Amino acid sequence: MTHDTQTWDFFLIYSRSDAAVAHEIYESLRSDFRVFLDSESIPIGEPWDAALAAAMSNVKVFLVLLSPDFDDSLLAREEYQIAINAKRKNPEACGLVPISLQPRAILPYGLGIFQGLDLSKHGGTEGIANRLRKQFKAEHHVARPKPDNSHPLAVFPRSGRVPSELITERLITAFASLHDPLVGPALGLMFVDKANAFRRSADPNDESATVVEAYTLPPPGSVSPLLFWRSLLSEARLHSPRMLAAVLLTANTNSFSESALADYRKLLTALVGASR
Contacts of 195 (CB under 8 A, 6+ apart): 211, 212, 236, 243, 246, 247, 250
> Per this entry, what is the length of the chain?
276
Q: What is the pLDDT of residues 112-123, one digit of tens each?
A: 788 889 998 988
| Amino acid type, 245 | A
Inform me whether the pLDDT recorded for 276 exceeds 80: no
* Cβ count near 209 (within 10 Å): 17
- Domain boundary assignment for the chain: 8-140, 164-272
Superfamily of domain 8-140: Toll/interleukin-1 receptor homology (TIR) domain (3.40.50.10140)
* pLDDT tens profile 134-156: 888 745 444 445 555 678 898 88
pLDDT exceeds cutoff 90 at 188: no
Residue 164, classified by CB atoms within 10 Å of its CB into exposed (0-12), middle (13-18) or buried (19+), is exposed
Alpha-carbon separation of residue 237 from 34, 166, 253, 268 (angstroms)? 25, 10, 19, 12
The reported pLDDT for the residue numbered 217 is 85
23 confidence band (pLDDT: 50, 70, 90): very high
Mean pLDDT calculated for residue range 211-233: 84
Give CA 188 to chain center in angstroms.
26
Lowest mean pLDDT among 30-34, 158-162, 271-275: 271-275
Q: Can you tell me the mean pLDDT for 80-99? A: 87
The answer to whether residues 251 and 229 touch, using CB atoms and an 8 Å cutoff, is no
Beta strands 117-118 and 95-100, pairing class: parallel
Global model pTM greater than 0.85: no
pLDDT at residue 59 in the model: 92
CB 148 within 8 A of CB 159: no
Structural contact between residues 200 and 211, judged by C-beta atoms closer than 8 angstroms: yes
What pLDDT, on the 0 to 100 scale, is given for residue 245?
92
**Residues 237-259, mean pLDDT to the nearest whole number:** 89
Reduce the secondary structure of the chain to three states and give it as a string.
CCCCCCCEEEEEECCHHHHHHHHHHHHHHCCCCCEECHHHHCCCCCCHHHHHHHHHCCEEEEEEEECCCHHHCHHHHHHHHHHHHHHHHCCCCCEEEEEECCCCCCCCCCCCCCCCEECCCCCHHHHHHHHHHHHHHHHHCCCCCCCCCCCCCCCCCCCCCCCHHHCCHHHHHHHHCCCCCCCHHHHHHHHHHHHHHHHHHHCCCCCCCCCCCHHHCCCCCCCCHHHHHHHHHHHHHHHCHHHHHHHHHHCCHHHCCHHHHHHHHHHHHHHHCCCC
